Amino acid sequence: MTSSAIIPYPIEPIAALPSDEHLAAAFLNSMAEYGTQLHARRIWLACSGGRDSLALAALCVQLYRQGKLSLLPQMLHVDHGLQADSQHWAAHVAHWAKAQQMPCHILPAQVTGSDEQAARQARYDVMRAYMNQEDVLLLAHHADDQAETVLMRLIQGAGVSGLSGMQPWRVQSQGAHRMVLWRPWLTIRRADISAYARRLKLPYIDDPTNATGDNVRSGLRRDIMPVLAKYNPNVIDNITRSAQLLSDADTTVRAQAAQDLQQTTIGSLQQPPLQRVLNVDKLAKLPLYRQRQLLHHWLGQDEPLPPAKQLVDDVLNLSQRSDHNHQTELFWQGRKHAYTIRRYRQQLYRLSSDWLAWLNIPITAQERTLAHIVLPDVSSVDSSPLSINLRTSEDVIWQLQVAPNALVRLLDNPAGEVGHQTALKIRPLDRQQRLKTALSTRPQSGKKLYQTLGIPIWLRESLIVVSMTFLNAETVENEIPILLLSPFDRWILSTDDLAMRTEAQTLAVFIDSHLCSNHTR
């Protein structure tokens, strides 16, 4: 059984047939432009079996047989199962590739949703999963596709980045996996590809849904582009040229935004992609248009699609507020994660939902005797710090790190025989607990310390107190708070116990915390 959508030409080898000079020149010029990036990378060709992708596959076969292409790309065909004949289409593509002696892999895909974007996302996901890290995916998008893309984004209200259209070379990341999308035919017209397919008598699949007009792209192709061509026959080339000019402009804008971001980012508070923080005072010193560009760039980090203009405007308004009501929360559902944007004092935070969930994990009080903390080889200068987990999830681990050899020196016990009566106690800060930091003149309650130290509301349950406890000669337990920690900062505490002040403050120097993120989803 066959499919009526397949152009009824016989499947025959096409390597020896004449190639198209115009199409070949565009491909070879693009290959020369990205030659350094292509070196030593495996190349795959996404082939739906339609006219454009089958024509690109045919050209690659011809260039390979002519010695102008050192390696023949391997074809990837994704079967969504959305069309009744999809299995026949997959078998047809595999049969054609076999006739050309071209490697071909058929990949089944499950589509979540019913729109064009869902099918596109499923295609890329399944191909990305099949390909290796940093592999190149060759795509047959052409100038007509580019013009339709620019018009689609124009009516959606896109900015410079969106209106620059598809890029000929773009690195696409999904978590830790990276692949490259290569489009060498963005300057080639659909009519030229059609003429080439007719000359070769390519038995391509003419998907009937491409001309129905029931999605934005096919509607523009069927109804709008012919009307625009009446006003200017060169409309496709002109829109493509505009996209290239806007791409150059977008590169300039991005470079400026990246430079501004470097100047306004608060490095000590960054935990990408979970938490990103800007300095509001430095942001306000920029011209207004650069503030918008910076916020657009800042918000869109770690996301494949940019934020909406309304969100950028709302965040800009939040940064400009002069009142002390910092309870405002802005929400953004990105493609990868959901985010909350908040301001605390002169800091602007973009917090992922995963990060906020992590901050709600309770911290359990712990007590460790020094005899259990100090490593056996205490005489070694290179003794590794002992790590004590404070809060742990699948993606983020917060640890207390203690230098064991430092403890031995502080106890004036070179042999390493640490008494069992001395311990480190770790527990969350109580709002009523009174502590005195080394730089303050008097003790303050935990509630007051939140304000004094500038701790944002969502981080206040993540303050911990590290104390040293020991038994004195009368076997009375004495607890000396030595350190206050948050995931991003530390404060040495002061004690009124003169006998222990120096030892406790010195010990605090050798204790720190470490935040490790394995967030790759």
Residue 120 identity: R
Give me the torsion for CA of 96, 170, 210, 245, rounded to 10°.
-130
How far is Cα 234 from Cα 230, in angstroms, rounded to an integer?
9
At residue 343's C-alpha, the angle toward residues 342 and 346, to 5°, is 160
Residues 6+ apart with CB under 8 A from 241: none
Contact 466, 400 (CB under 8 A): yes
Tally of CB atoms within 10 A around 307: 20
Token pair, residue 1, equals 């059984």
350 to 115, 300, 317, 431: CA distances (angstroms): 30, 10, 15, 26
Annotated binding site: 48-53
Tally of CB atoms within 10 A around 403: 21
DSSP labels, 240-299 = HHHHHHHHHHHHHHHHHHHHHHHHHB-GGG-BTTTEEEEEHHHHHTS-HHHHHHHHHHHH
Contact 401, 386 (CB under 8 A): yes
Annotated binding site for ATP: 48-53
User: How big is the chain, counted in residues?
Assistant: 521
Pairing status of strand 43-46 against strand 177-182: unpaired
Q: Indicate the SS3 state at residue 61.
A: helix
How far is Cα 175 from Cα 352, in angstroms, rounded to an integer?
15
How far is Cα 188 from Cα 59, in angstroms, rounded to an integer?
14
Q: State the residue for tokens 């009501």.
A: 325
Cα 494 from chain centre: 42
How far is Cα 38 from Cα 31, in angstroms, rounded to an integer?
8
468 to 293, 479, 486, 502: CA distances (angstroms): 49, 6, 18, 13
Burial (CB < 10 A; 0-12, 13-18, 19+), residue 58, is buried
| Helix 190-200 with 143-155: angle, nearest 10 deg | 140
Query: Among positive and negative, which fits the CA dihedral 185, 190, 192, 193?
Result: positive
Whether a cis peptide bond, with omega within 30° of 0, leads into 273 is yes
Q: How many CA atoms lie within 13 Å of 489's alpha carbon, on the beta-carbon side? A: 15
Q: How many CA atoms lie within 13 Å of 402's alpha carbon, on the beta-carbon side? A: 29
Which of 366, 365, 386 lies closest to 374, judged by CA?
386
